[in-house]
Structure 1
Amino acid sequence: MEYHEPRNSTEAALHEYKSGLGVFTQKMPEIARHYNAFTETCFMEGTLSQKQKHLIALGIAINAQDEYCIIYHTKGCLDTGASEEEILEAIGVTAAFGGGAAMSQAVTLVQECIVELNELKQ
Structure 2
Amino acid sequence: MDLHASNQTESALLHYKEGLGTFTKKMPELASHFNAFTEECFREGTLSQKDKQLIALGISLYSQDEYCIIYHTKGCLDQGCSEQEIYEAIGVTAAFGGGAAMSQAVTLVQDCINDLNNLSQ
Give the TM interval when normalised to the shorter protein. over 0.9
Amino acid of the structure 2 residue aligned with 1:38: F
Give the match for residue 88 of structure 2: 89
Gaps of 5+ in 1: none
Give the match for residue 58 of structure 1: 57
Aligned residues with identical type, % of pairs: 75
Q: CA deviation at 1:17?
A: 0.1
Amino acid of the structure 2 residue aligned with 1:56: I
Give the Cα separation in 2 of the matches to 1:40 and 1:96.
29
Q: CA deviation at 1:33?
A: 0.2
Q: Deviations over 1:81-105 (max 9, x none)?
A: 0000000000000000100000000
Asked if 1:38 is matched to 2:37, the reply is yes
Give the Cα separation in 1 of the matches to 2:71 and 2:29.
23
Give the Cα separation in 2 of the matches to 1:115 and 1:48.
27
Gaps of 5+ in 2: none
Give the Cα separation in 1 of the matches to 2:66 and 2:59.
11
RMSD: 1.4
Q: TM-score, normalised by structure 2?
A: 0.94
Give the match for residue 19 of structure 1: 18
Give the Cα separation in 2 of the matches to 1:121 and 1:52.
22
Give the Cα separation in 1 of the matches to 2:82 and 2:38.
23
Equivalenced residues, count = 118
Structure 1 stretches of 4+ with a deviation exceeding 4 A read: none
Q: TM-score, normalised by structure 1?
A: 0.94
Q: CA deviation at 1:77?
A: 0.1
